[in-house]
A and B are shown apart, each in its own frame.
Chain A
Amino acid sequence: MSYTTAAVLGAAAAVLVDVVLLRTRLILRGVWWVTYALVLCFQLISNGILAGRGVVRYDPAAIIGIRVAYAPVEDLLFGFALVLTTLSVWVWLGRRDRAPR
């Protein structure tokens, strides 16, 4: 499996976690998209440094070859999956804390 395929599957899995598994449905909320836009700006900077300076090196055979701010476009999907999963779990736990016992 290429990184491209893994990244697409990872992003899809994160959406499934959010919508189906934990039912937090953040991707339907404005607060998620504003947060994601903000985090994305910082990802382009930090990941741009890591990829641009070669701290992390990617196998050209594993990626499609499109780069955004020095990093493979696949990293955007990886970041999307990481951020969505994080916030879905965080909000899910916040709900559980409030559930009547």
Chain B
Amino acid sequence: MIQFTYLAVLFGCLAAALWLEPVLKVGVLRRRRRLLFTLGVVAAGFLVWDVAAVAVGHWSYDPRQIIGVWLPGSLPLEEVLFFLVIPTCTILGFEAVRRVLRWPAGDESGNGEER
């Protein structure tokens, strides 16, 4: 079971945030293109940092605690999923906060996609 440690942490993050979509109706997953574009840009940028950091030895992964699927750049599959899961959870949290507090973030308009 120990090989699922990293994966379990990612599932825990998703579990902590995904309920915001149906319960607070934040509409993040529904805005698919905007979400996918954001994830693409952010993941691409941070994976470059990640690959470089692994290459120079800033950090490494315990092979016993990952499922063992390695991707180019010596990254475990979980690490790539990390850069999809964490930004998604972040956006869900952000949209939930602005929905609850009704504070502006700068992309509001009278007839946006928020309906």
Q: Which residues of A contact B (CB under 8 A)?
A: 1-3, 6, 10, 24-26, 29-32, 34-35, 38-39, 42, 46, 49-50, 53-59, 62-63, 82-83, 85-87, 89-95, 97-98
Contact = CB atoms under 8 A, between A and B. Distances in A.
A25 B59 CA distance: 32
Contacts of B103: 29-31, 34
B9 A90 contact: no
Give chain A's interface secondary structure class.
helix
Contacts of B59: 3, 56-59, 62
Interface residues of B, number: 44
Interface of B: 5-6, 9, 12-13, 16, 34-35, 37-38, 41-42, 45-46, 49, 53, 56-62, 65-66, 83, 86-87, 89-91, 93-94, 97-98, 101, 103-107, 109, 112-113
Given A29-B105, A90-B38, A62 B57 contact: yes
A34 B101 contact: yes
Contacts, number: 130
Nearest to A49: B9
A58 B12 CA distance: 23
The interface centre, meaning the residue of A1, A31, A34, A57 with most chain B CB atoms within 10 A of its CB, is A31
B51 to A, nearest CB: 13
Nearest to B17: A42
